A and B are shown apart, each in its own frame.
Chain A
Amino acid sequence: MKFIFEHQWKEFFRSSVWQKNLAINIVMALFFVYIAANFIFLSYMAGDILMDLFPGQSPIDNFNKGIIYYFLADIFIRFYMQQSPVVSIAQYLHLPIKKHKILNLVLLRSGLSIFNSSILLLTIPFAFGWVAEYESTSGAVAWLIALVSFNLVNSYLVIYLKKLLMEKPYIVAIFGLSIVLIGILDYYSILILTTYSQLFFTSIIRNEFLALIPVVMLVLTYFGVFKFFKSRAYIENLGTLKKKDAKSTSLEFLEPLAEIGKLIELELKLIWRNKRPKSVTIVSFVFFLYGYMLYPQSTNVFMLIVAGLMITGMFVLNYGQFLFSWESSYFDLLMARNVQIKKYVIGKFYLFSFITFISFLLSLIYIPYGIEIIQVNLAMALFNMGINFWVVMYFSTLNPKKIDLSKSTFFNYQGTSYQQFIIVLPMMGLPVFVFAPFHVLVSQEAGILALAMVGIIGILLKGPLSKIVEQRIITKKYQMASNFRES
């Protein structure tokens, strides 16, 4: 039965991203090592930090108080990020292997995922540095067993909930709402979660056998999930076959733009109907709240410009960096049928300008933080429309890769290449390059005005600029199309 592990291993390492992009692998590996080191350090220092924060109180008690929040947050994070492992059994169902065997293996394997190891990094240093030191080693071990068990309970619970979401979404909604309700009760000190959390985990340290409670919970959850999936181990239930009620729609207000309007409509449907571009777009708008973090603290004009760039240009940056890759699955069609490349470019210009404009309108809620912010944001919106858009268009042709639209965004770097780094540099650098000389030589207002003027010039020059991009697409289209055809 070890072939399943072997296959998963191969699937992971033979995926095209791994095979082709060593540099990104190294960066990602370093990133993971960095995160892991942070976790270990945090756990190691947790005792001292808690002593500083709550002098005179036991850091172990305070740590135990916090655990409940960790696990509640954990459920939500997992719900968004954890992939269901059960889908991968589809390819074995027709083979002469007992169903319960495969299912067991796949579920057990998912318990060993990298997600679940983070709890060990976060707790082992504290367990042996503090709990074992001030209580007992056996208490520390029991405590660890309890935490790991709860962590796995969460992991299996989420696998179950995500599947249930497709069948009975209201149950999942009730579950989610009740957690939120508990949170609210806790916030208004009606139900004090930290007390229960502390009581429970501290008791485990003192009476090791109490750790059996979470272990039994884990076993029950596991068999519950197992039973649930056993009865659903048919391809049609695994989410590999989907049936949806698709509606044909058309956006009438784009009608006057004729073909360009149709191209914009197509791109809007691309965003709306596919998982990855949709979440990229939503994340772009979440970034909008960045202003609430930055504006109360900083009035440095360079920071305001960066904020303006982000707030009005997050979509250009986030969605635009994969500009052609989004269309990788039908790029041949765009090139071989009667799509005029000029109209294709102009369509994108209108779409991006429109979204940038909307972002600027939304940014008006920051008026209370000063009119200057609005001035900067207007200038940056114009700059994003008139300059950064063309920068993104031009450099997106460098080496775009294929993207599978249906995959989730998290930890998904399919389609990423050096191209993204090259796009970000001028997008960030150019505004400063335009602003700084006027700011130093004349005044801050002159710098902001210069940004706006350069942006307006870019908008007015859309004819010649689109011509450049058009030529660029024509010369690069063979390489792009061949990249997109690669599987």
Chain B
Amino acid sequence: MISIQNLQKVYGNKVVLDIEELYIEKGQSIGLVGNNGAGKTTMFRCILDLIQPKSGIVKLKDFIVSNNEEWKEYTGSYLDEHFLIDFLTPEEYFYFIGSLYQKSKSEIADFLKQFFELFNGEILNQGKYIRDLSKGNQKKVGIIAALIGDPEILILDEPFANLDPSTQIRLKTFLKDLDQNGEVTMLISSHDLSHVADVCGRIVILEKGTLVNDISTNENTLKELEHFFTQ
């Protein structure tokens, strides 16, 4: 579903990303962990063709991302607030994203119903533009919008950061269910080791731009991860 080969990104003479190979099967969910500056966001931006790598290719399904736009039809993503249109209300924003995937307003309204709890009454019908929402609520809007259009590939950068505890748990449950269905291939980064160990079946550790570890999750994973990061 996702394949990365010889991907290298360089700023000045500093190599910030250098991944020889990474293949992700359909339905797998990958947790990407690493300290600040490890290259997580850079990797996401390369995958979404927002920055140009020095060398290497990224394929989403069968398409090389830099060569065409087809991959956008089945890829949902939320990296940061540059994915929000802050002068729209959340509803308008969801409808807009929906229209990009030929979803009607009523389809989107139906889709949003399942997130009633997650929204906690603070998102819809609040008479606020996205720019006037709190950081946490902005993030909720972005993550839910990433799910619009039945993506086959879902890419989220730090989805748990800035969220309140209830929402973190609800989001985790939701992503786990999504993973169980096996329809969506997920790529999620997080600083919260227990969350990724919980949600993702496979965990990849990035350090200074390179892949240093690739493990399938089991009951000892969290310990392993904690050990790795306290070395």
Contact = CB atoms under 8 A, between A and B. Distances in A.
B59 to A, nearest CB: 16
Interface string B20-64: 000000000000000000000000000011111000000000000
Nearest to A339: B100
A98 interface: no
Given A244-B132, A262-B99, A336 B86 contact: no
Contacts of A333: 82-85
Contacts of A338: 72-73, 100-101, 149
Interface string A238-264: 000011111111100000001100100
Contacts of B128: 243-244, 246
Given A246-B128, A484-B82, A332 B50 contact: yes
A270 B87 contact: yes
B91 interface: yes
Contacts of B75: 336
A249 B96 CA distance: 11
B89 A242 contact: no
B84 A266 contact: no
Nearest to A265: B96
B77 A337 contact: yes
B60 to A, nearest CB: 11
A478 B50 contact: yes
A329 interface: yes
Contact of B87 (A259, A273, A481): A273
B42 to A, nearest CB: 12
Interface string B76-106: 1101111111111101100111011110010
A439 B85 CA distance: 48
Contacts of A250: 92, 95, 105
Nearest to B77: A336
A405 B84 CA distance: 14
Interface majority SS on A: helix, strand, loop or mixed? Answer: helix
Interface majority SS on B: helix, strand, loop or mixed? Answer: loop
Given A243-B132, A478-B51, A336 B91 contact: no
A341 to B, nearest CB: 7
Interface string B175-188: 00000000000000
B69 A341 contact: yes
A345 to B, nearest CB: 13
Contacts of B121: none
Given A250-B95, A337-B97, A341-B69, A245 B127 contact: yes
A259 B99 contact: yes
Contacts of A478: 50-52
A203 interface: no
Interface in A447-487: 477-478, 481-482, 484-485
Contacts of A340: 69
A269 interface: yes
Interface in A268-322: 269-270, 273-274
A39 interface: no
Nearest to B149: A338
B119 interface: no
Contact of B96 (A262, A274, A341, A482): A262
Contacts of A273: 87, 129
Nearest to A341: B69
A335 interface: yes
Contacts of B102: 258-259
A245 B83 CA distance: 23
A330 interface: yes
A291 to B, nearest CB: 33
A332 B46 CA distance: 12
A394 interface: no
A405 B130 CA distance: 14
Nearest to B155: A336
A332 B82 contact: yes
B100 A259 contact: yes
A150 interface: no
A331 interface: yes
Choose among B72, B100, B132 the residue with the greatest number of A CB atoms under 10 Å from its CB: B100
Nearest to B52: A478
Nearest to B146: A337
Nearest to A271: B87
A242 B101 CA distance: 33
A330 B84 contact: yes
Interface in B108-134: 127-129, 132
Given A246-B132, A250-B95, A482 B77 contact: no
B127 A246 contact: yes
B82 to A, nearest CB: 4
A242 B132 contact: yes
A246 B129 contact: yes
B130 to A, nearest CB: 9
A340 B128 CA distance: 29
A256 B48 CA distance: 30
A330 B99 CA distance: 17
Contacts of B105: 250
B12 to A, nearest CB: 14
B73 A335 contact: no
Contacts of B83: 330, 332-333, 336-337
A244 B76 CA distance: 31
Nearest to B65: A336
A337 B74 CA distance: 9
Contacts of B96: 262, 266
Contacts of A246: 89, 127-129, 132
Q: Which A-B residue pairs are the 5 nearest by beta carbons?
A: A332-B82, A262-B99, A336-B48, A273-B87, A478-B52
29 contacts: A242-B132, A243-B128, A244-B127, A246-B89, A246-B129, A250-B92, A258-B99, A258-B102, A259-B99, A259-B102, A262-B96, A262-B99, A262-B100, A266-B88, A269-B87, A329-B82, A329-B84, A329-B86, A330-B85, A335-B49, A336-B49, A336-B75, A337-B97, A338-B72, A338-B100, A338-B149, A339-B72, A341-B69, A481-B50
Interface of A: 242-250, 258-259, 262, 266, 269-270, 273-274, 329-333, 335-341, 405, 477-478, 481-482, 484-485
Given A247-B89, A273-B87, 18 more contacts: A243-B128, A244-B128, A244-B132, A246-B129, A250-B92, A259-B102, A330-B84, A332-B50, A335-B50, A336-B48, A336-B49, A336-B83, A337-B77, A337-B97, A338-B101, A405-B87, A478-B52, A481-B51
